[in-house]
């Protein structure tokens, strides 16, 4: 039995390995090229907004466009963050509308925080009841999911009729005063709470299902009451989950546009509605201040979102994918 | 207060609260919408003058070309956008899952669009598509050679405006499909793939015969979640085109909004929203059914 010469095989193997290494490297290069291309596609609109927010009026729609502001200015930020009456030096033309972000920011923070808190409170306890006692029957989880999938415009129309016509009609008939929920904080918070409840319930279900029931059982055997068990055993274990859920729902409410647009005007103005106001021609498009508002609106949610990055998929997929 | 903590009552408290909220804020308005949809009434007249008109409004909606066109357009936008998002998201997830060191960085960057407020996305793209915007500047060398004025008004052309909206949607929501597929790739059992490789399977075979079938639940979930959301398309339409030029970018949500909030046709809007809900409810039912059954499949595979 003759063996093939050693040198031959090692040379061939060497060549094969080199070829493989080269292929590996070219594959890696193409992979990174593709991924960097997509990064560029993602970064560009954001970059453009931030760049525009530092441009003065003449540069907003200059041709050819300025990629970086030639004369960077904080004018746009000064304009949206101005206090009290607008400083005449801040408006560029006599016709320019004075507008600041304060009202929108305040309303958005107020509405989003309270709606998210209500939804979190109700949703957590319902999720607990569903997880532990199967409240509402076998298909209750799915019914909740279906509510979430109703197009918001359908909800908006019925809520508009309800808030603006039926509630005043009924209250004037019963109490003699017309109370309208249209364009009120209560009205907006109520509908935000209801529309985000399904998210809270589904996210909290994934967290509560992970708390072993034996733990509660042990506490009960040691004589703790129902309420004590929840307060001392369950809540501490799902506290971080509650924070994540709160942030997720807060981001959803913060980004909500359709319901805010349709159910409020002109009293309550959230940031999304404020931004849209200056898109329509009637108010005159102020690209620079708009970009500044966009930047201010975006930064906090991106930070919050990155904080709960790991859980985002859980929230968006209703816990169908756990990570 | 002792009876509140008793077994039977305790478990029902949150249930009753939430149910009451749903009844007050969803069911009652919904019942009222049905009633309004049967009336002949416009918002600029007093409510007391409204009179019963039977199914007249439903007839008006069903015979309205605008409604059907808007509905068709919505499905067209959703179909195209979701298809692109799925393919691109899948490819990105596959590429990123092959990375080792840079994986975390890419994931973080690719997630950002999802967290940006849709209205801001609409604004950003309106700046990019504007006639003296960066898109036209990038295209200028090619367009000049062809003798076309580079300052094109993209949003004034019906087809270009439609694609503008689709691209904005893809920009934002590919991040979600990417995220879903990335967790799908992460959950693939490495032993199975190694075993196949040892047995001499080509990468192509591994992908089609092992990875893809195992990723099927993730794919189904991504399709359902994205389609449900894409059918609600509204924000970028308002920000980018106001449904125009003409009606070429009117989605069904925008159409209804215009009918009710601009033209004050309340009864018509109510009837249309009921019809829309009926049309969608079949989809919703199917979607939830598939989501739940695939959720079970995912759980069975992982646990």
Q: Flag whether residue B70 sits within 8 Å of chain A, measured between CB atoms.
A: no
- Residue B155 lies in domain: 18-302
Contact B140 A64 (CB under 8 A): yes
pLDDT for residue B68: 93
Contact B228 A129 (CB under 8 A): no
Whether B77 shows a pLDDT value over 60: the answer reads: yes
A238 vs A311: CA distance, rounded Å: 14
Q: Flag whether residue B8 sits within 8 Å of chain A, measured between CB atoms.
A: no
Contact A146 B285 (CB under 8 A): yes
pLDDT for residue A88: 58
Give B168-213 pLDDT, tens digit per residue. 999 999 999 998 898 888 888 888 888 988 988 888 888 888 888 8
Determine, yes or no, domain membership for B232.
yes
Report how far Cα B10 is from the mean position of its chain's Cα atoms.
38
Give A198-212 pLDDT, tens digit per residue. 889 888 988 888 888
Q: What is the mean pLDDT of residues B255-269?
A: 88
Determine, yes or no, domain membership for B119.
yes
Contact B96, B182 (CB under 8 A): yes
Whether A120 shows a pLDDT value over 90: the answer reads: yes
Which positions in chain B touch A194 (Cβ < 8 Å)? 21-22, 25-26
What residue in B sits closest to A37 (Cα-Cα)?
Answer: B92
Whether B225 shows a pLDDT value over 70: the answer reads: yes
pLDDT tier at A250, thresholds 50, 70, 90: very high
pLDDT for residue A84: 60
B135 vs A39: CA distance, rounded Å: 17
- Helix or strand holding residue B103 (H, E): helix B103-115
Whether A1 shows a pLDDT value over 50: the answer reads: no
Q: Flag whether residue B236 sits within 8 Å of chain A, measured between CB atoms.
A: no
- B209: domain CATH number is 1.10.3720.10
Question: How many C-beta neighbours within 10 Å does residue B74 have?
Answer: 24
Please provide the DSSP assignment of A180-224 as one string. Answer: --TTSHHHHHHHHHHHHHHHHHHHHHHHHTTS-HHHHHHHHHTT-
This prediction has a pTM of 0.87
**Of B106, B96, B116, B93, which Cα lies nearest the Cα of B179?**
B93
Residue B51: φ, ψ to 5°: -130, 160
Cα distance from A224 to chain B (closest Cα, Å)? Answer: 12
What residue in B sits closest to A150 (Cα-Cα)?
Answer: B277
Determine, yes or no, domain membership for B8.
no
Q: How many CA atoms within 13 Å lie on the side-chain side of A291?
A: 28
Does the CA dihedral A131-A132-A138-A139 come out positive or negative? negative
The boundaries of every CATH 1.10.3720.10 domain in chain A are 102-316
Q: Mapping DSSP to helix (H, G, I), strand (E, B) and coil, where does residue B39 land?
A: strand
Q: Mapping DSSP to helix (H, G, I), strand (E, B) and coil, where does residue B246 land?
A: coil
Which positions in chain B touch A42 (Cβ < 8 Å)? 109-110, 112-113, 171
Residue B40: φ, ψ to 5°: -105, 105
Contact B239 A128 (CB under 8 A): no
Percentage of the residues of chain B whose pLDDT score is greater than 90: 20
Give A14-69 pLDDT, tens digit per residue. 888 888 888 888 888 999 999 999 999 999 999 999 998 998 877 887 778 888 88
Q: Mapping DSSP to helix (H, G, I), strand (E, B) and coil, where does residue A199 land?
A: helix
Give B15-35 pLDDT, tens digit per residue. 888 888 888 888 888 888 888
What fold characterizes domain A102-316? MetI-like fold (1.10.3720)
Q: Mean pLDDT of all residues in chain B?
A: 85
Whether B232 shows a pLDDT value over 60: the answer reads: yes
> Which value, to the nearest 10 degrees, does the dihedral of the CA atoms of residues B262, B266, B271, B275 take?
40
Determine, yes or no, domain membership for B105.
yes
- Asked, as a colleague might, if the bond just before B229 is cis with ω within 30 of 0, I would say no
Q: Flag whether residue B261 sits within 8 Å of chain A, measured between CB atoms.
A: yes
Best mutation target, B120, B121, B239, B302, to test chain A (most A CBs within 10 A) = B120
C-alpha distances (whole Å) from B297 to each of A311, B60, B220 are 20, 45, 11
Size of interface A-B (CB pairs under 8 A): 274
Determine, yes or no, domain membership for B1.
no
Give A82-109 pLDDT, tens digit per residue. 776 555 555 555 455 556 788 889 999 9
Number of domains in chain B: 1
B295 versus B246: the higher-pLDDT residue is: B246
User: ipTM of this model?
Assistant: 0.86
- Asked, as a colleague might, if the bond just before A64 is cis with ω within 30 of 0, I would say yes
Which positions in chain A touch B119 (Cβ < 8 Å)? 255, 257, 272, 275-276
Q: What is the mean pLDDT of residues A109-119?
A: 94
Determine, yes or no, domain membership for B294.
yes
Give the B window 166-185 contacts with A, CB below 8 Å: 171, 176, 179-180, 183-184
């Amino acid at each position: 039995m003759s063996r093939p010469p050693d040198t031959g095989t090692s040379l061939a193997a060497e060549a094969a390995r080199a070829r493989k290494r080269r292929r590996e490297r070219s594959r890696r290069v193409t992979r990174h090229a593709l991924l960097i291309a997509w990064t560029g596609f993602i970064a560009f609109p954001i970059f453009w907004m931030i760049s525009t927010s530092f441009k003065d009026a003449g540069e907003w729609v200059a041709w050819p466009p300025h990629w970086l502001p030639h004369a960077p200015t904080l004018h746009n930020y000064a304009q949206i963050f101005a206090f009290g009456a607008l400083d005449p030096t801040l408006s560029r033309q006599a016709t320019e509308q004075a507008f600041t972000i304060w009202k929108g920011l305040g309303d958005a923070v107020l509405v989003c925080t309270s709606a998210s808190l209500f939804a979190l409170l109700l949703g957590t306890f319902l999720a607990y009841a569903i997880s532990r006692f199967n409240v509402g029957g076998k298909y209750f989880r799915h019914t909740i999911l279906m509510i979430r999938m109703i197009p918001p415009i359908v909800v908006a129309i019925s809520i508009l009729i309800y808030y603006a016509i039926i509630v005043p009609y009924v209250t004037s008939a019963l109490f003699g005063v017309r109370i309208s929920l249209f364009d009120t904080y209560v009205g907006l918070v109520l509908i935000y709470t209801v529309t985000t409840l399904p998210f809270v319930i589904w996210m909290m279900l994934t967290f509560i299902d992970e708390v072993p029931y034996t733990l509660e059982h042990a506490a009960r055997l040691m004589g703790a009451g129902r309420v004590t068990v929840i307060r001392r055993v369950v809540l501490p274990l799902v506290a971080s989950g509650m924070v994540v859920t709160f942030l997720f729902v807060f981001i959803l409410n913060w980004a909500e546009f359709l319901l805010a647009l349709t159910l409020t005007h002109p009293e309550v103005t959230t940031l999304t509605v404020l931004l849209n106001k200056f898109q329509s021609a009637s108010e005159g498009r102020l690209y620079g201040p708009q970009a500044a508002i966009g930047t201010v609106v975006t930064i906090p949610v991106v930070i919050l979102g990155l904080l709960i990055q790991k859980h985002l998929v859980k929230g968006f997929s209703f816990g169908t994918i756990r990570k | 207060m002792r009876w509140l903590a008793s077994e039977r009552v305790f478990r029902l408290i949150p249930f009753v609260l939430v149910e009451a909220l749903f009844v007050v804020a969803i069911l009652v308005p919904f019942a009222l919408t049905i009633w309004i949809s049967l009336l002949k009434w416009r918002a600029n007249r007093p409510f007391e003058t409204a009179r019963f008109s039977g199914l007249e409004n439903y007839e008006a909606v069903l015979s309205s070309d605008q409604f059907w066109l808007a509905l068709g357009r919505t499905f067209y936008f959703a179909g195209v956008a979701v298809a692109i998002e799925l393919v691109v998201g899948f490819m990105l997830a596959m590429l990123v899952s092959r990375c080792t060191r840079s994986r975390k960085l890419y994931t973080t960057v690719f997630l950002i669009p999802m967290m940006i407020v849709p209205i801001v996305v609409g604004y950003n793209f309106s700046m990019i598509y504007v006639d003296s915007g960066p898109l036209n500047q990038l295209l200028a060398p090619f367009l000049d050679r062809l003798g076309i004025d580079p300052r094109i008004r993209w949003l004034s052309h019906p087809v270009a405006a439609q694609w503008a909206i689709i691209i904005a949607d893809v920009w934002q929501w590919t991040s979600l499909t990417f995220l879903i597929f990335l967790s799908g790739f992460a959950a693939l059992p490495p032993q199975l793939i190694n075993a196949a490789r040892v047995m001499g399977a080509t990468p192509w075979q591994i992908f089609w015969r092992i990875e893809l079938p195992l990723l099927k639940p993730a794919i189904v979930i991504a399709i359902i979640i994205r389609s449900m959301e894409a059918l609600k398309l509204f924000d970028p339409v308002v920000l980018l085109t106001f449904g125009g030029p003409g009606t070429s970018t009117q989605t069904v949500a925008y159409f209804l909004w215009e009918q009710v909030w601009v033209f004050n046709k309340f009864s018509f809007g109510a009837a249309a929203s009921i019809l829309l809900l009926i049309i969608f409810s079949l989809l919703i039912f199917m979607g939830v059914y598939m989501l739940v059954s695939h959720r079970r499949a995912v759980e069975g595979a992982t646990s």
